[in-house]
């Protein structure tokens, strides 16, 4: 079964001044179970709107999204979002941040701490369970956000430019960590990024969105062996090809604005 079917969705926002903003038009694609999909495309191309619809935070104006055979009609712990800005509760310790959603799910105290500790270890933060977000670096905060999302044991992990605010070194480390976790936990992942390098490193499939309203411009499967090295010829070649598509997508959006 497909993990996700996005079936001809469009989204029009009505702003406070009663203006219509067409964010997405007639967009369809499917994602297989455990697939790692990256979405690239110019700003304003509807990427966040698409993720918000899949998360169930927004409703499509037309069309539907089906997750594991069921039409999405609101948020669910089976689809969890990780944002660029480490949306942690500053007044809660690392462990309590990760346990928070589990409490909402009705898991008892002993069990949820045990469960949370497993995910703290998975992201390598055992020594920081009692620390507060303000005591952590950006990379560590994002590790907590990832652990918190994984602790909910979602089927689908939605990540909206999760490493966009991190320095290059931290970002590369987190990419590898996320891939290791993905190999272990086997989730379906939808990951928005501005970095072609990141998309080629992470993805089984790369979707390029463009236009205004946004829609799918290209869909490319990435069959490079895992443990990818960005200096290998296959990597360099695919990256160049995708850069070309992304540039075309950007040019298209620029021409639509003029």
Q: Which parts of this chain interact with Mg ion (CB under 5 A)?
A: 47-48
Residue 169's H or E segment, with its range, is helix 168-185
Contact indicator for 204, 35 with CB cutoff of 8 Å: yes
Contact indicator for 174, 182 with CB cutoff of 8 Å: no
**Distance in angstroms (rounded) separating the CA atoms of residues 233 and 2:** 32
Question: DSSP class of residue 26?
Answer: E
CB of 84 to Mg ion, least distance (A): 8
Q: Which of residues 1-40 bind ligand ADP (CB under 6 A)?
A: 13, 15, 21, 23
**Distance in angstroms (rounded) separating the CA atoms of residues 185 and 153:** 9
State the Cα angle at 76 between 35 and 173, rounded to 5°: 45
Contact indicator for 242, 234 with CB cutoff of 8 Å: no
Q: Which of residues 112-151 bind ligand ADP (CB under 6 A)?
A: none
Query: Could you say which of ligand ADP, Mg ion, none residue 162 binds, taking C-beta under 5 to 8 angstroms by partner kind?
Result: none
CB of 206 to ligand ADP, least distance (A): 15
CB of 185 to Mg ion, least distance (A): 25
State the Cα angle at 174 between 184 and 168, rounded to 5°: 155
Per-residue mark of binding to ligand ADP, 49-88 (x: CB under 6 A): x---------------------------------------
Question: Among 107, 150, 114, which residue's Cα sits nearest to residue 129?
Answer: 114
Site for ligand ADP contains 187 (CB under 6 A) = no
CB of 181 to Mg ion, least distance (A): 23
Q: Which is nearer to ligand ADP, 23 or 150 (CB)?
A: 23
Site for ligand ADP contains 47 (CB under 6 A) = yes
Which of 25, 38, 46, 148 contacts ligand ADP by CB under 6 A? 46
Beta strand extents in 103-214 (DSSP E only): 156-160, 188-192, 205-210
Which stretch, 47-55, 74-82, 115-123, 127-135, contacts ligand ADP (CB under 6 A)?
Answer: 47-55
Which strands make up the sheet holding 188-192, listed edge to edge? Answer: 79-82, 156-160, 188-192, 36-40, 205-210, 215-221
Q: Which is nearer to Mg ion, 43 or 255 (CB)?
A: 43
- 3-state SS class at 79: strand
Site for ligand ADP contains 253 (CB under 6 A) = no
CB of 111 to ligand ADP, least distance (A): 37
Q: Which is nearer to ligand ADP, 40 or 166 (CB)?
A: 40
CB of 87 to Mg ion, least distance (A): 14
| Contact footprint for ligand ADP (CB under 6 A) | 13, 15, 21, 23, 41, 43-49
């Amino acid at each position: 079964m497909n993990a996700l079917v996005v079936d001809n969705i469009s989204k029009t926002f009505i702003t406070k001044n009663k203006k219509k903003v067409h964010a997405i038009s007639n967009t369809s694609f499917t994602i297989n179970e455990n697939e790692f999909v990256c979405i690239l495309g110019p700003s304003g191309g509807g990427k966040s709107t698409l993720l918000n619809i899949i998360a169930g935070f927004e409703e499509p104006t037309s069309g539907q999204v089906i997750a594991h055979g069921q039409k999405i009609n609101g948020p669910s712990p089976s689809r969890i979002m990780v944002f660029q800005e480490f949306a942690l509760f500053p007044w809660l310790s690392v462990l309590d941040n990760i346990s928070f959603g589990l409490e909402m799910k009705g898991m008892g105290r002993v069990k949820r701490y045990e469960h949370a500790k497993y995910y703290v270890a998975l992201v390598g933060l055992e020594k920081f369970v009692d620390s507060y977000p303000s005591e952590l670096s950006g990379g560590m905060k994002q590790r907590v956000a990832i652990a918190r999302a994984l602790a909910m044991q979602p089927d689908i992990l939605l990540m909206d430019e999760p490493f966009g605010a991190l320095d290059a070194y931290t970002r590369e480390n987190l990419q590898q960590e996320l891939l290791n976790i993905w190999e272990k936990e086997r989730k379906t992942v939808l990951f928005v990024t501005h970095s072609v390098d990141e998309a080629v490193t992470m993805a089984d499939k790369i979707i390029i969105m463009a236009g205004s309203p946004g829609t799918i411009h290209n869909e490319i499967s990435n069959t490079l062996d895992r443990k990818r090295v960005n200096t290998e010829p296959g990597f360099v070649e695919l990256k160049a090809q995708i850069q070309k598509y992304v540039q075309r997508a950007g040019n298209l959006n620029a021409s639509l604005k003029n």
